[in-house]
Amino acid sequence: MVRSLKNPKKAKRKNKGGKKGEGSSNEVPSLPAKVWQPGVDKLEEGEELQCDPSAYNSLHAFHIGWPCLSFDVLRDSLGLVRTEFPHTVYCVAGTQAEKSSWNSIGIFKLSNISGKRRDLVPNKTGDETDMDSDSSDSDEEEEEEAGSGTPVLQLRKVFHEGCVNRIRAMTQNPHIVASWGDTGHVQVWDFSSHLNALAESESDLSHGASAVSNQSPLVKFGGHKDEGYAIDWSPLVPGRLVSGDCKNCIHLWEPTSGTTWNIDANPFVGHSASVEDLQWSPTEPSVFASCSVDGSIGIWDIRVGKSPATTIKAHKADVNVISWNRLASCMLASGSDDGTFSIRDLRLLKEGDAVVAHFEYHKHPITSVEWSPHEPSTVAVSSSDNQLTIWDLSLERDEEEEAEFKAKMKEEVNAPTDLPPQLLFVHQGQKDLKELHWHSQIPGMVISTAADGFNILMPSNIENALPANDA
């Protein structure tokens, strides 16, 4: 149940170019570095870790002032599948400020996100000799940086009473945002005016970026008996919401219009401890999943009473996070306080053990887990060990291929033998990682938040297939 950021005062970055509290953006510095193996090598005194820029198609860091425990990526109208740099993203994030009265929700736009231009589909024309002869030219083209300069951050802030434990935007109407506060209130906001202003503006930081506007929420619900962290919008029923608290109660919100809700005062109760995360089914509009400090996962049907339809003993420790695969709806991922994460095939629940994969790579609590919106077998995980890992569950160990690789690379790298073959990528450099999200419209892009700000990353070894062209 690791949640709070450690000493946000110390974690707050200094912005040399702006006023206190304003956001800033910069590229992560990259210097040549020898291979370092997480969990195997130790840093000697005076040594520092530097990222290898060739491992990323894009990597940028930025912050919006105070650290953020939670954020969400907003759907936009810039294109359903975007592969060309420079990119633009819209997000909302909630702060964890040193004083309760200093908190806000940041609505921001990050544009001019540059990266390496690469072909998603290899060019099959020409024979190998021709390709080799112009390899230097083609490599230069592939590695060419698309976009110039640093990303441009435009930020607007709305006052939020208390720290924001978790924040989520409605899938169908991304200007409608729900926030869970440490005051014990769940609030729903309409940020359409802020998003419209950001969309129309091309300047760097918006005028008065340090200013925090006062805006009344559409709804402020105080029916929970304690603060909470679990909240999720239905992907199938616009406006349907569930919120769960630390007193093991889950409340259902049913929309009565575009801006009003009927909130059931009679909660769903089935866990014996704090409800940590909630996820609606991607295919069943009345079904959602929950996870808890009691180590279990519950599957609920809102049509059938206030108790879970199924309860799964999922982990030996607190279950911090869950993610329901929207491309393979039988798959549910869960991450625990003991550093393990598991994948379950819900079709196997009746047969007993539904676990199809279980990983013990991370040694500290799992803080976030999310399936890729573009690849059904790919999942991203963040942990308190300051690592963000990306996994492809379709991969299996090929001993012959491994032996060949080791023979070629034995003088260059001594890879640990116990790394799971499904581990695609390890991202480091952020302190106290809290939450990650894939961008649903930019294949391969992951955004993460930590005590020292945000990272946007696109690993170079993750290639996403584009939708089939009808032509």
- Residue percentage of the chain with pLDDT more than 90: 70
User: In which band, very low, low, confident or very high, does the pLDDT at 119 lie, cut at 50, 70 and 90?
Assistant: low
The average pLDDT across 379-392 equals: 97
Would you say residue 121 has pLDDT above 60? no
pLDDT at 204: 55
Terminal alpha carbon distance of the chain: 50
CATH topology of domain 58-116+146-459: Methylamine Dehydrogenase; Chain H (2.130.10)
Burial, 257: exposed, middle or buried (Cβ in 10 Å; 0-12, 13-18, 19+)?
Answer: exposed
List Cβ neighbours of 396 (8 Å cut-off, separation of 6 or more).
421
The beta-carbon contacts of 350-355 under 8 Å, at least 24 apart in sequence, are 354/312
pLDDT at 215: 97
Contact 198, 209 (CB under 8 A): no
Backbone angles phi, psi at 131, to 5 degrees: -65, -40
pLDDT at 311: 96
CA dist., res. 278 & res. 71, Å (int): 15
The average pLDDT across 66-70 equals: 97
List Cβ neighbours of 150 (8 Å cut-off, separation of 6 or more).
25, 26, 27, 60, 112
Secondary structure class of 139 (helix, strand, coil): helix
- Residue percentage of the chain with pLDDT more than 70: 77
On the question of a cis peptide bond just before residue 373, with omega within 30 degrees of 0, the verdict is no
Domain boundaries, the chain: 58-116+146-459
pTM value is 0.86
pLDDT at 10: 41
CA dist., res. 242 & res. 254, Å (int): 9
Would you say residue 83 has pLDDT above 80? yes
The residue among 208 and 336 whose pLDDT is bigger is 336
Burial, 231: exposed, middle or buried (Cβ in 10 Å; 0-12, 13-18, 19+)?
Answer: buried
CA dist., res. 370 & res. 100, Å (int): 29
DSSP secondary structure of 321-378 = EEEE-SSSTTEEEEEETTS-EEEEEGGGGGGS--EEEEE----S-EEEEEE-SS-TTE
**Mean pLDDT of the residues in the chain:** 85
Burial, 75: exposed, middle or buried (Cβ in 10 Å; 0-12, 13-18, 19+)?
Answer: middle
Q: Which of 210-214, 226-230, 368-372, 436-440 has the lowest mean pLDDT?
A: 210-214
Q: Which of 274-278, 309-313, 329-333, 393-397 has the lowest mean pLDDT?
A: 393-397
Q: Which of 99-113, 135-149, 236-250 has the lowest mean pLDDT?
A: 135-149
Alpha helix positions (H), 55-121: none
Tens of pLDDT along 11-63? 443 333 333 344 555 555 544 445 666 666 777 787 777 778 889 999 999 99
